[in-house]
Amino acid sequence: MKEVVSMKTKVTELLGIEYPIIQGGMAWVAEYHLAAAVSEAGGLGLIGAASAPADWVRDQIREAKKLTDKPFGINIMLMSPHADDVAKVVVEEGVKVVTTGAGSPEKYMKMWKEAGVKVIPVVASVALAKRMERCGADAVVAEGTEAGGHIGENTTMVLVPQVVDAVSIPVIAAGGIADGRGIAAAFMLGAQGVQMGTHFVVTNESQVHENYKDMIIKARDIDSRVTGRSTGHPVRALRNQMTKEYLDKEQQGASFEELELLTLGGLRKAVVDGDVKTGSVMAGQIAGMVKEKMSCHDLIQKLVKETDDLIGGKGFYE
């Protein structure tokens, strides 16, 4: 397969990458092997800091640098008790890109800006996108409810164009994107790039348990469930014994504490231990479209070729 040399957009210029494809900063999944492989393949790999301590993040950054000299980033979950320390590690280790979720990065913005860090918050609403632009964000990821893990309510199809119309910084589309058709659609909605998670989970370089990968490969279009709507913290995962029990308890009016107990450590249980029955197998609605495991290089080349074949001559990227 002939390689597509580059696909230039405002996002590739902003981040210094070949292709406008960002790998999601998934907790327990997005570690240095995966991030480095995505960056080496021309996209932007992300290390998911999740709730990990700063020293773990520092080690991950240093290991990633051994595998690639291309740009990669850190995803910081701002609710983490270690967020302040991780924010400093980003600067100390010379990381040039940060994506953020579960909160606002405003208090770190001055420090990051002075260090030349590009800041890209993940948003699920127009109001948050506008607020992030005002506080100095370089771009935003508009993530639709089709995504895996913690989600908002708006679909990618309706969220992305509204965010594009509301802000002047580049918008990256996320949620429900699995192939070149999805990337082409994102460009048509006004996005300058895409962020993908689920498809990268099953790549060869992804360190997640094979049981997790196999469950995504075997998933059908109807196998996605959202738990936690009653608590105000909806999470999308593939249906299993845990989601069934959770949804039953939720319907019966179980307390927040009881529901939390059911999912405590659930993602780690699935990703690391391979317990895909009682663990939380977070994945997007596109899981049903993921049919094979391949390297990050082959996946990105497949995605850019499909996109190029659809819209390469139509001026959606330079």
CA distances from 152 to 53, 101, 129, 203, 236 (A): 27, 12, 13, 26, 10
Buried residues in 260-286 as b, exposed as e (16+ CB within 10 A): eebbeebbebbbbebbbeebbbbbbbb
pLDDT of residue 314: 66
What would the DSSP string read from start to end of 236-302?
Answer: EEE-SHHHHHHHHHHHTT--HHHHHHHHTTHHHHHHTT--TTTS--B--GGGGG------HHHHHHH
Beta strands 235-238 and 149-150, pairing class: antiparallel
**pTM for the whole thing?**
0.93
Tens-level pLDDT at each residue, the chain (318 residues): 556 556 889 999 999 999 999 999 998 889 999 999 999 999 999 999 988 889 999 999 999 999 999 999 999 998 888 899 999 999 999 999 999 988 889 899 999 999 999 999 999 999 999 999 999 999 999 999 999 988 899 999 999 999 999 999 999 999 999 999 999 999 999 999 999 999 999 999 999 999 999 999 999 999 999 998 988 889 999 999 999 999 999 999 888 888 888 888 888 888 889 999 999 999 999 999 999 999 999 999 999 999 999 987 666 656
pLDDT of residue 212: 94
Q: What CA dihedral angle connects 61, 64, 68 and 71, to 10 degrees?
A: -40
pLDDT of residue 6: 67
pLDDT of residue 288: 96
Residue 254 neighbours by CB under 8 Å, 6+ apart: none
